[in-house]
Amino acid sequence: MPKTDQHLDIAGLRAGERVDDEIYLVMQKDLRTTANGGMYIHAVLADRTGQIVARLWNETQELYDSMRSDGLLRFRGRVESYKGKPQFIIDGLRSVAPGEVDASAFLPETAHDVEAMWARVLELMRTIQNRDLLALVGCFLNDAVFVEAFKKAPAARGNHHAYLGGLLEHTLNLLEAAELLLPRYPRLSRDLVLAGILLHDAGKTVELSCDTSFNYTDAGQLVGHIVQAATWIQLRAADLERESGQPFPQDLLTALTHLIVSHHGKYEYGSPRLPATGEAFFVHHLDNLDAKLNMVFNAIDKDPDKESRWTQWFPALETRVYKHDPTRA
């Protein structure tokens, strides 16, 4: 959300309020017709705080064409109440100069402090004992372009941690959970687990674009984040070999790559290999646990019907979610 005093958060708009000149992101637009020949635009506007339905009466073809879905515009209008919910009636709109604002400022973002999370990631990574693995991980941690993308990327397009900083938050969740549980499974290689978690979804930085919305890139759809991260590991190892003149331990590379290529746990979820080491099962299940719980909370928080004990059907969970907690009743 742009940190300027002018901006009126969408979440705060109330019926009766006037909006003089505010930038919002156009999420959807539809041209709808009326029986007497008129047309109006039905649109959804968004900023980081939420979304609102908007209507623009007496639309013209030019106006409609000038609106770009997934684009930013300046709006003038007023808020009415429709079926008990606020609705934005557009009185005018005009374009935003390129570069004037950062579109990503209109996307949802993590509720946590990105820099603090990243610092914690670094702290944990530094505890890796194996020198080769530490060096390899260091290649990623010291790559400013990668780090910037890693801090910004969502963890998924929609189901879980689908907000700026979501990848970092999800990754740190797994690292913290591993840190807590590893002492109970001392036969696992702590080093491999930490490195594997850091990189398991790192390919999401290129699988998903996060400019004005979260969408798959071409490479994301054609190659995917799993193969991408596996490739990066070998590219970095090759870099280290060139720098040091020493071969990078092949077994280590293989075992780390295995954590990436097996972390979805099943072929039908796009893993080209199934988990075959204790570390691979560990990373897969922690990942699954955090993702599923985030989906559960997500389903509850976004459910429009606050009275119902059940959310709507949530496809990725294959269920509706029961919201009622009888121990707190």
Where is 52: in which H helix or E strand? strand 50-56
How far is it, in rounded angstroms, from Cα 297 to Cα 91? 37
With H, G, I as helix, E, B as strand and everything else as coil, classify residue 25. strand
Measured from the CB atom, is 11 or 185 closer to a copy of itself?
Answer: 185
How far is it, in rounded angstroms, from Cα 159 to Cα 287? 14
CB distance 44 to 62 below 8 Å: no
Measured from the CB atom, is 49 or 277 closer to a copy of itself?
Answer: 277
CB of residue 214 to a copy of itself, shortest distance in Å: 16
Q: What is the bridge-based pairing of β-strands 18-33 and 39-47?
A: antiparallel
Signed CA dihedral, 65, 69, 74, 75: sign only: positive
Measured from the CB atom, is 74 or 282 closer to a copy of itself?
Answer: 282
Measured from the CB atom, is 96 or 227 closer to a copy of itself?
Answer: 227
Short-list 250, 241, 211, 206, CA closest to 225: 206
CB of residue 299 to a copy of itself, shortest distance in Å: 10
CB of residue 208 to a copy of itself, shortest distance in Å: 15
CB of residue 43 to a copy of itself, shortest distance in Å: 15
CB of residue 150 to a copy of itself, shortest distance in Å: 19
Measured from the CB atom, is 141 or 317 closer to a copy of itself?
Answer: 317
CA angle (168 as vertex; 164, 172 as ends), nearest 5: 145
